[in-house]
Structure 1
Amino acid sequence: MSGDERGAGGFELLVREQGSVTSVDDVLRRSDGCSVETVVDVLAHRRRRYVLYHLREHGTAVAESLADHIAERERDGSTVTPDPARRQHLRTELLHTHLPKLDDAGAITFERTGEFVEYDASETLELFVELAARAEA
């Protein structure tokens, strides 16, 4: 949408980057290989979002600690600690579904042998991860 198409009642989403302000449209035009389909697919599942939020803050993790993090987030104020079987199920789901999907999308680097995960999101994906994190805070 161009500036003329926004017109009255429209709005422009701006992003603060390295001391300057850039429109989201300009960020999306960058060729960092991240399509809208990728952004939507990556952020569609809450457990993938939880992984990305954790990695944005910590940079790296192992699958076991990510499973623990997700279990704690999903507890949602409950005083009941998730049982070991549930944590194992989360770990397995991460290893076989969510981490490979995030790796294929270029959001993380996933070393399968050591179950080591590192945050590696493109600039475009990072923008949407940040927006999602703020919306869910």
Structure 2
Amino acid sequence: MTSLNRIFDLLSKERRRYALYYLERQDGPVSIDELAERVIEWETDPAVVSIPEERFERVEIELLHNHLPKASEAEYVEYHPERREVEVTGTPPEFNAVISVAEVIERPPRDS
């Protein structure tokens, strides 16, 4: 059984939650670039037309050096920095239940 403390710790940061919401719905590895783009979309007001390159770089760096290494402490998050890919596989039922409820409550602005 997966500890609720571990799940809540994984979901404690908004940016990491957005990344996990997206990753949990994918069938296979996701590039860091794709993940950064999705997180930025969810964090940005839909009225914003253009995202500065510096913002993309900041989000990407934070994912690479903070959120993905932290998430990969969970055995069901596979982070491959050398390939710049990450995926979620074999999630335990406790994680699935909590992340589903969290996403419904939070409802990121865009759904994909």
State if a TM-score over 0.5 links the two structures. Answer: yes
User: Is 1:46 aligned to 2:14, yes or no?
Assistant: yes
TM-score of the superposition, structure 1-length normalised? 0.71
Q: Which has the larger radius of gyration?
A: 1
What is the deviation of 1:49?
A: 0.9
Q: Distance in 2 between matches of 1:136 and 1:35?
A: 22
Q: Distance in 2 between matches of 1:55 and 1:85?
A: 23
Give 1:76's aligned amino acid.
D
Aligned Cα root-mean-square deviation (Å):
1.3
Determine which structure has greater relative contact order: mean sequence separation of CA pairs < 8 Å that are 6+ residues apart, divided by chain length: 2
Contact 1:62 1:115 (8 Å CA) reproduced: yes
What is the deviation of 1:124?
A: 1.2
User: Is 1:56 aligned to 2:3, yes or no?
Assistant: no
Candidates 93, 98, 103, aligned match of 1:128: 98
What is the deviation of 1:82?
A: 1.5
Identical positions, percent: 29
Q: Number of aligned residue pairs: give it.
A: 105
What is the deviation of 1:39?
A: 1.1
- Unaligned stretches of 5+ in structure 2? 108-112
Per-residue deviation, residues 69-91 of structure 1 (Å, max 9, x unmatched): 11111112232422111101111
Question: Which residue of 2 is the match for residue 94 of structure 1?
Answer: 63
Structure 1 runs (4+) deviating above 3 angstroms are: none
Greater percentage in strand:
1
